[in-house]
Structure 1
Amino acid sequence: MALPQTPESNPIDYIDDEDFISLDIPLEMADERLDKVLAGSLPDYSRNRLKAWVEAGAVIVDGKVTKARYLLRGGENIKVFPQAMPEQFAFSSEDIPLDVVYEDADLIVINKPPGLVVHPAAGNWSGTLLNGLLFRFPELKMLPRAGIVHRLDKDTSGLMVVARTSHAQTLLVRQLQDRTVGRRYLAFVWGDAPSQGKVLASVGRDQRDRLKMTAGSPQGKPAATLFRRLTRGLIGASPVALLECRLETGRTHQIRVHLESLGFPLIGDPVYRKKTPGAAKNLEFHRQALHAYALSLQHPSKNGLMTWFRVPPQDILDLLPQLGMSEEVLPNEATVLASMQNESQTCT
């Protein structure tokens, strides 16, 4: 149905007439706020949900859309058109282009582009990697999180593995817990980073800013990041470096938090950038310069090590000359895959 048109409303199609909730407001409720009356009359719905319906124009007072703070006169009729909340569509399939590097009956390896959220959550209930996976691989709807066993941040690019069966998902999660999955990243940072190092610092939620993580948090989980410098560069007088990072653990924002704690924030990072120099304004790069370029794991059923490699996306390749670096400094696929093979054999 189309809601009545008023100066405050736009044409929006809502659910069928018979699905609305009708409330007749008694005269004694005069001068009560609309949101308060709704909360008291409809206790099965949260205040936030009711407020969202009011703001969406799905609550009609005597045929008119109004505001949550509207003061009732008493005697009005209110129609509430319950709206499906975004999270109800979180696990729907969407035709989202995916760069599938490898697939078989057990697993899928994806080269995730920057800007793609991995899993639906508040603020991103659709348009995620999970939605795209469900479109291309409908059988994943039978698995928890559609087979996703680890994540990359929205603006981090690179390789991820997704399980295709419950057996594979269990074994891949176990490998992640046992720290036997090989993950290598390219990280472009501000500062004159040392030739190599290892960061051992817990990572936990920042108590002052719940949207951020922090290193060394007493409530955090143990985390370890190894790094080695591949090359140096300059932007004006500001030193920069390209690092190869290896994860021994996989905490939220781990590389970003660990490197910033050393004074080497990622170029382009919009969150972890306390010590970013003024030269940053001269760069045409607006995401954290982080790419998961190599991945290795024991195949769940083939009982052998498999490795994958992907060069960074074009935006990072375009960043190199701005930093005084060439593509020749990037790791070589054959060398990296051989190194990861040897590393796996050493660990076992």
Structure 2
Amino acid sequence: MSQAQSSNSNFPETDFNLLEDSEDADNHTSDSTATRLSLQFQLDESYLGQRIDQVAALVWNDFSREKLKQWLKDGHLLVNGNTVKPKYKCEGNELLTLNVELEVQTKSLPEDIPLNIVYEDDDIIVINKPVGMVVHPGAGNSSGTLVNALLHHYPKSAELTRAGLVHRIDKDTSGLLVVAKNLESQFALSKQLAKKTVYRVYDLVVYGKIIAGGTIDEPIKRHPVDRIKMAILPGGKDAVTHYNVKERFQHFTRVQARLETGRTHQIRVHFSYLGFGLVGDPVYMSRVRVPAGASELLGETLRGFKRQALHASKLGLVHPRSGEDMMFEAPWADDFAQLVEVLRSENQAY
């Protein structure tokens, strides 16, 4: 399959791991660049009686409510062409207009880090992220991240919230993610995520023999004791994973999973819950399990596989400007491919 083409897969379309849940962005129009922002939004009766600063924070949720209030006071955010106070109550039929010069949105510094770019145009970048790269700077990871690399590759990304990121994948998960290059694209991609029209498929290898495909529908929230972990608990956020068995081995299964929701660690938590933990997972598997009778090669491979065997292999989306259906694929990382080859050779030995 080529880098970008329509998909006729019999896998239904779905959404992928979200950085955060996105408000619907219906009715946005924009002639903005990444520097000068010019946006409009037509309200409807669902906004009747709400304060304008609250409405603006829903409509343009990439900006803080305080910043939007300041833009209201400064006359950058107008209601039907007029300046209003933040406590103005909406009638439900107003036209909001935002015209402002964007400021730098990140304190992260650009770094000359190579990127494996699968596709790029004026609106989006699709990247095949390597194992070990953190997506967004955080505690203990202030440099060497995808954001640092993006700031060097495309300096105007500094003017976008999270440097244009609309979703993320874990540090030790390889594969595809899309980044917006302007605010219009960021809004459009967030809208697709919220409406579950973005298609994402992961390949994974788990311990145990899964008989057939299915759906895991179990809520996920932060573990009450171990704050590094997520867990299936009452009161958690809805989390749905669909999966197909792709290849069975003597003691392992290669699976393809599709996310209907995008919760932190969703695939890892869901399969661990079923009793099929991911090979190499340092968080949800307490130790390396080498099956009885395994070859020396398989034992060495399992002990040497230091991260979860998980790869974001397919990404489908609608281009935010052209409306074209696009599908991208990324080959497995070398360690993942080697793991599968060893399992195949082990299978042949039985």
Relative to the length of structure 1, the TM-score reads 0.65
Partner of 1:179: 196
Question: Which residue, out of 323, 328, 335, partners 1:303?
Answer: 323
SS at match of 2:344: coil
**Residue 343 of structure 2 aligns to which amino acid in structure 1?**
L
Structure 1 residue 274: deviation in Å? 4.8
Structure 1 residue aligned with 2:260 = 248
Q: Deviations over 1:78-119 (max 9, x none)?
A: xxxxxxxxxx99511001110011011110000000000000
In the alignment, residue 313 of structure 1 is paired with which amino acid? A
Matches of 1:93 and 1:219, distance apart in 2: 40
Q: Which residue matches 1:230?
A: 246
C-alpha deviation, 1:311, in angstroms: 1.0
Give unpaired runs (5+ residues) of structure 2.
Answer: 1-104, 292-297
Q: Say whether 1:198 aligns with 2:205.
A: no
- Relative contact order, higher structure (CA 8 A, sep 6+): 2
TM-score of the pair, normalised by structure 2: 0.64
Deviations 1:239-258 (A, max 9, x none): 10000000111110000000
8 Å Cα contact 1:156-1:288 kept in structure 2: yes
Correspondence 1:219 to 2:235: yes
Please list, as runs of the form range in 1=range in 2, the aligned pairs for 1:146-185 lying within 5 A after superposition.
Answer: 146-185=163-202
* Preserved contact between residue 131 and residue 172 of structure 2 (Cα < 8 Å): yes
- Is the 1:189–1:243 contact (alpha carbons within 8 Å) kept by the matching residues of 2? yes
Secondary structure of the corresponding residue to residue 323 of structure 1: helix
Q: Which amino acid aligns with 1:179?
A: K
- Segments of structure 1 that go 5 or more residues without pairing to the other structure are 1-87, 327-348
Following the alignment from structure 1 to structure 2, what is the Cα–Cα distance between the partners of residues 89 and 108?
Answer: 19
The 5 A counterparts of 1:259-298 are: 259-274=271-286, 277-279=289-291, 282=300, 283=302, 284-298=304-318
Amino acid at match of 2:260: E
Q: Which residue of 2 aligns with 1:143?
A: 160
**Percent of aligned positions that are identical:** 47
Change in CA separation of 1:153 and 1:121 when aligned onto 2, cut-off 3 Å: same
Number of aligned residue pairs: give it: 234
Map 1:96-107; keep pairs closer than 5 Å.
96-107=113-124
Tell me by how many angstroms 1:321 deviates: 2.3
Q: Could you tell me whether the CA contact under 8 Å between 1:268 and 1:288 is conserved in 2?
A: yes
Q: Measure the CA separation in 2 of the matches of 1:186 and 1:163.
A: 25
Of the candidates 132, 138, 153, which is equivalent to residue 121 of structure 1? 138
Moved over 2 A (4+): 274-282
Q: Displacement, 1:194? A: 2.5
Aligned partners of 1:89, 1:122: CA distance in 2, in Å?
Answer: 15
Question: Residues of 2 paired with 1:278 and 1:291: CA distance?
Answer: 22
